[in-house]
Amino acid sequence: MSRHREGDLIDGRYRIEALIGSGGMADVWLAEDEHLPRRVALKILHDHFARDPQFIERFRREAESAAALQHVNIVSILDRGQVGDTYYIAMAYLDGRTLRDLILLGLTPPESVAIVRQILEAAGFAHRHGVIHRDLKPLNVIVDQTGLATVTDFGIARAGVSDMTETGSVMGTAHYLSPEQAQGLEVEPQSDLYSVGVVLYECLAGRVPFEGESAVAVALRQMQEEPVPPSAWNPSVTPALDAVVMRALSKEPYERFPDAETFIEALDAAEADPMSGYVEPEMGSKKWMWFAAAAVLIGLFIAFVATRDDSVRVPDVTGQSLDQAVSKLNGEGFSVGEVKRKSEPGPSNLVLSQDPSGKADRDCTLWVFSCSDPDVNLVVSSGPGQVEVPDVSGQSQSDAEAALEDAGFTTTAEDKPSSDFDAGDAVETDPAAGESAKRGSEVTIFISSGPSKVGVPALVGITFEAAKQKLSARGLEFNSSGVESDRPSGEVLTQDPDAGSKVDPGSTVELTVSTGPADTDTNVPNVVGLTEAEAKSDLTSAGFTVSTQQQSTSIEQQDGRVIDQNPSGGSTASGGTRIVIMVGNYSPNAPQNPGDGSGGIGID
């Protein structure tokens, strides 16, 4: 658990407001930069990693890798430093959702392509500057309300040769690792493009291409099995988009797209011609060598071909879920061909029929040593059918729920700030109005809670001027009152509401501001006639400072004693005032001061 708390001041600059998220390596906090009027995301390394030189190096390299990459789709690094025994990175605060959250809500193919195109722009820029991210996944992509996607977390990125990225070191998240990463082999830009292919697959299908009970099981499937096209899970995925995804997920790096720009061009082409598919390039100019070798071997194959059994028994997968069927077929050497959807009562993704079934002919030719098993085409249930979600925005919660239930959906409600709809009225739904969803599925209604609230900043302990700037930046008003205190003048003593409270925009925050210590006057002691030492003692004890001046006197009794003082005894002055005393210096020939006489100093 982190030892940092809301309100802590990090490195004398960053005031922690709230915990955004926590990972295996560090916590990420929302913080206010008190030097500049901005909010930042503060990534603080976990204390137990701060003692590990390898993790400190990884953390340092994240800051350096990302700071060197200034791109609209890559998070900006603003600062880095040390706090106590650990380290931090200050990044631009991204107000949005992770791509993982959006996938759970559901994305259309055009939305998926738009986001992945931006991830590729970021990856391509990094690759051109010699940096490989090595951990591209939906949790490392933030999408704001305008649709801008930003890639974060360059914690295991590689820039050039590093002893932390040698062959044999496996770093990253299992579901998104390329086969070469899973084996600990050398990583190259095509490894990032494989990870982007997995992200695109998940955006389109709502799931990753390979699941497993452990990271090792997932990695083995990445290396050994072919993925089912995303259209098997989402019929709205076009053949052209299927082809782009399948090329990105090729096992061999050289079979994938050579760079991010080519990947983007393929996505553009798929959108322009949805029904086309990717055509593999020709092998090259050495085809004649293969024909020559085949001609030599024909004679050897003839006897084998004439006597071999070309049939094979296909596993029966009817009645199984699509995932189970694919795993069983792949496990026995078969590939899944076309997957067709059919609306049927009962569970979705259940295999209704297969072709071929039972005993089937294998695909054999004279030019191979063995026969290949046939592709198995499947017909899968799509469930009880799709229904269009009605538009209920602006309706009361009860009316909106009734309209959705009449359309065949169940409902749940969540609050959402909105300045466009009255509190208690429906703002929008998920799935959105006009989209199709399975009859009987749940639709979330977002109910307006009124305008969005504003967080009150921490103001106690800072100057009144700084407090006014913070309140103005958040659209808040203030009232202030002064009070005497032992705190410096102009320092904020109290605030109402407290820091972290949520209020409406334009609300007023009450401030109490120190006017400094209270002024108090003190009676000035009369020290005329006292010795210099006695006078100083009385005056300093009363809270005054003392300045001494010598004055010649012809009266011997005045020698070494106070002849006069300013301010005079019996008057009042504030504490710390300087009192000037005139001390007599006897000289027989000194002129007699006006007013000097036998009773002048009260000495018997």
Predicted confidence (pLDDT) at residue 158 exceeds the cutoff of 80? no
Residue 247 lies in a domain: yes
Q: Residue 125 region, left (φ>0) first, then alpha (ψ -120 to 50), else beta?
A: alpha
Candidate list 27, 135, 425, 564, residue with the active-site label: 135
Average pLDDT, integer, range 141-153: 92
Say how far apart CA 273 and CA 505 lie, in whole Å. Answer: 48
Residues 528 and 495 in one domain: no
Confidence of residue 285 (pLDDT cuts 50, 70, 90): very low
Beta bridge partners of 359: 313
Task: Confirm whether 591 is domain-assigned.
Answer: no
Question: Mean pLDDT for the chain?
Answer: 83
Instruction: Determine the Cα–Cα distance for residues 352 and 359; give it in Å rounded to an integer.
Output: 18
Structure tokens at 474: 């958040």
C-alpha of 33 from chain center? 17
Q: Tens digits of per-residue pLDDT, 347-367? A: 777 888 999 888 877 766 544
Pair (525, 438) in one structural domain:
no
The verdict on whether 192 is a catalytic residue reads: no
| Residue carrying structure tokens 């700084």 | 466
Mean pLDDT of 298-309: 50
Answer yes or no: do 458 and 407 share one domain.
no
Distance from C-alpha of 267 to C-alpha of 117, rounded to nearest angstrom:
8
Claim to verify: residue 214 and residue 141 sit in the same structural domain: yes
Per-residue pLDDT of 452-507, as tens digits, reads 888 999 999 999 999 999 999 989 999 999 998 888 889 999 999 999 999 888 89
Domain boundary among 402, 431, 448: 448
Are the beta carbons of 174 and 236 closer than 8 angstroms?
no
Structural domain total, the chain? 5
Q: What is the mean pLDDT of residues 413-441?
A: 87
Same domain flag for 224 and 119:
yes
Q: Give the end of a domain, one of 464, 495, 514.
A: 514
Residue ranges making up the domain that contains 437:
386-448
113 & 243 share domain: yes
**Do the bridges between strand 545-553 and strand 386-388 make them parallel or antiparallel, or are there none, so unpaired?**
unpaired
CA dist., res. 230 & res. 268, Å (int): 18
Q: Which pLDDT tens digit goes with each residue over 191-236?
A: 999 999 999 999 999 999 998 888 888 888 888 889 999 999 999 9
Q: What is the pLDDT of residues 544-575, one digit of tens each?
A: 899 999 999 999 999 999 999 999 999 998 87
Best-predicted range by mean pLDDT (287-301, 332-346, 390-404): 390-404
Residue ending a domain, among 93, 127, 153, is 93
SS3 477: strand
What predicted TM-score, i.e. pTM, was given to this entire model?
A: 0.49
Q: Could you give the CA distance from residue 80 to residue 474 in angstroms, rounded to a whole number?
A: 26
Query: Looking at the domain assignment, is residue 364 inside a domain?
Result: no
How many other β-carbons are positioned within 10 Å of the β-carbon of residue 369? 8
201 and 122 both lie in a single domain:
yes
